[in-house]
């Protein structure tokens, strides 16, 4: 899917770490719980396997996103039907082969079918859990298809977001800039919890921009197999045009491009790239601040205080993660509690 090789290696190592950690903590999860009601009554809760878990994994982190569902499913006594993205179809094959190679035959099976055929699987009586990681619209489609199957199935969704970062007046600016830029540009911005909008206290605005432009200018677009490449190509054919439309709309409404702003090829004239981009003077009514970008774009807005920042962060239809950069931990906790992370899907059947 175009991820630079240096980032791909990190995903492999993180996948292993996550798998080992899930295995390590598994014994701490009680299989049975007993609650004494009174001298004559005991309430006992038993946790049992549910059968087959259908895991629908995304293309942006094809190893990392599905391991968090595969390992718990197996530990809890279930088998796994893995439906990888059509953009990373071999992932399912290798997971299946890995488990088969150690004698766990058919514990993980690769499901190689087009997306539009998955809805037929929900009707199978053996499927009792569906785990989906992907876009907001993709999750909505899956949920509607499950409902139409007329079966009650356990579900878990991790969808996209428009994740915000707030740089407080007392922030360690160098630390904030480094982490926010990396959070926006890593994997060409194609991360569910990428930093997609930033609110900066007005006292730090100019310094933040200067430092951010300096960092962004050092990113190198190119062949993902090149060890020096830090920005790979966009995975989806329509992504560059969509990003350009968001940026053009922002500029027409008063935003300024500080660096980047165009889709292009690499220095060898190859690939489907979008330049790492920084915009200032953005407002919450712009598409770039409201709709998921999923690209190496960092739009900035200025706020005067914490209350204004929280108001702007909450003014979104998405809910996933947010970050606060401050030296005051208690204030960070206080602000975190005020952020609304739960959103509701608007479904029409």
Task: Reply yes or no on whether 192 is catalytic.
Answer: yes
Q: Which residues contact 202 (CB under 8 A, 6 or more apart)?
A: 302, 303, 304
3-state DSSP assignment of residue 106: coil
The β-bridge partners of 52 are 79, 127
Q: Which residues contact 297 (CB under 8 A, 6 or more apart)?
A: 184, 189, 196, 243, 246, 247, 274, 277, 279, 288
Q: How far apart are CA 326 and CA 168, in angstroms?
A: 5
Asked if 274 contacts 240 with a C-beta cutoff of 8 angstroms, the reply is yes
Q: What are the structure tokens assigned to 50, written together?
A: 């549910």
CA 332 to chain centre: 22
Q: What are the structure tokens assigned to 260, written together?
A: 């980047």
Q: How far apart are CA 148 and CA 298, in angstroms?
A: 39
Q: Is the dihedral of CA 143, 3, 98, 31 positive or negative?
A: negative
Closest CA to 66 of 102, 27, 14: 14
Q: What are the structure tokens assigned to 148, written together?
A: 């139409």
Catalytic residue among 65, 168, 192, 282: 192
DSSP β-ladder status, 263-264 and 273-274:
antiparallel
Task: Reply yes or no on whether 304 is catalytic.
Answer: no
Q: What are the structure tokens assigned to 316, written together?
A: 């979104």
Q: What are the structure tokens assigned to 109, written together?
A: 């099976």
Q: How far apart are CA 1 and CA 85, in angstroms?
A: 10
| Residue that has been written with the tokens 């608007």 in this structure | 346
For residue 19, what are the CA distances in angstroms to 13, 24, 53, 69? Answer: 10, 9, 17, 10
> Using H for helix, E for strand and C for coil, what is the string for 57-115?
CCCCCCCHHHHHHHHHHHHCCCEEEEECCCCCCHHHHHHHHHHHHCCCCCCEEECCCCH
Residues involved in catalysis? 158, 192
């Amino acid at each position: 899917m175009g991820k630079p090789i240096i980032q791909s290696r990190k995903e492999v190592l993180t996948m292993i770490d996550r798998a080992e950690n899930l295995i390590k903590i598994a014994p701490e999860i009680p299989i049975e719980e007993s609650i004494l009601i009174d001298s004559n009554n005991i309430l006992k809760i038993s946790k049992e396997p549910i059968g087959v878990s259908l895991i629908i994994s995304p293309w942006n982190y094809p190893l990392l996103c599905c391991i968090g569902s595969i390992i718990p499913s197996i530990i809890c006594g279930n088998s796994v039907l893995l439906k990888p993205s059509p953009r990373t179809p071999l992932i399912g094959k290798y997971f299946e082969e890995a488990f088969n190679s150690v004698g766990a035959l058919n514990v993980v099976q690769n499901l190689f079918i087009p997306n539009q055929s998955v809805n037929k699987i929900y009707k199978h009586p053996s499927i009792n859990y569906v785990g989906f990681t992907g876009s907001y619209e993709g999750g909505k489609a899956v949920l509607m298809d499950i409902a139409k199957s007329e079966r009650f199935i356990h579900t878990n969704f991790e969808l996209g977001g428009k994740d915000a970062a707030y740089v407080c007046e007392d922030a360690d600016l160098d630390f904030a800039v480094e982490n926010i830029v990396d959070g926006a540009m890593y994997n060409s911005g194609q991360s569910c919890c990428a930093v997609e909008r930033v609110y900066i206290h007005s006292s730090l605005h100019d310094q933040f921009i200067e430092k951010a432009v300096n960092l962004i200018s050092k990113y190198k677009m190119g062949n993902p197999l090149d060890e020096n490449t830090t920005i790979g190509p966009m995975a989806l054919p329509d992504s560059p045009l969509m990003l350009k439309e968001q940026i053009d709309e922002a500029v027409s409404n008063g935003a300024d491009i500080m660096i980047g702003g165009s889709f292009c090829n690499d220095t060898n004239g190859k690939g489907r790239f979008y330049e790492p981009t920084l915009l200032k003077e953005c407002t919450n009514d712009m598409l770039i601040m409201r709709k998921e970008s999923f690209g190496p774009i960092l739009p900035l807005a200025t706020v005067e205080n914490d209350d204004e920042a929280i108001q702007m962060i909450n003014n979104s239809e998405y809910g996933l993660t947010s970050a606060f950069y401050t030296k005051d931990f208690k204030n960070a906790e206080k602000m975190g509690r005020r952020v609304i992370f739960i959103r509701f899907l608007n479904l029409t059947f």
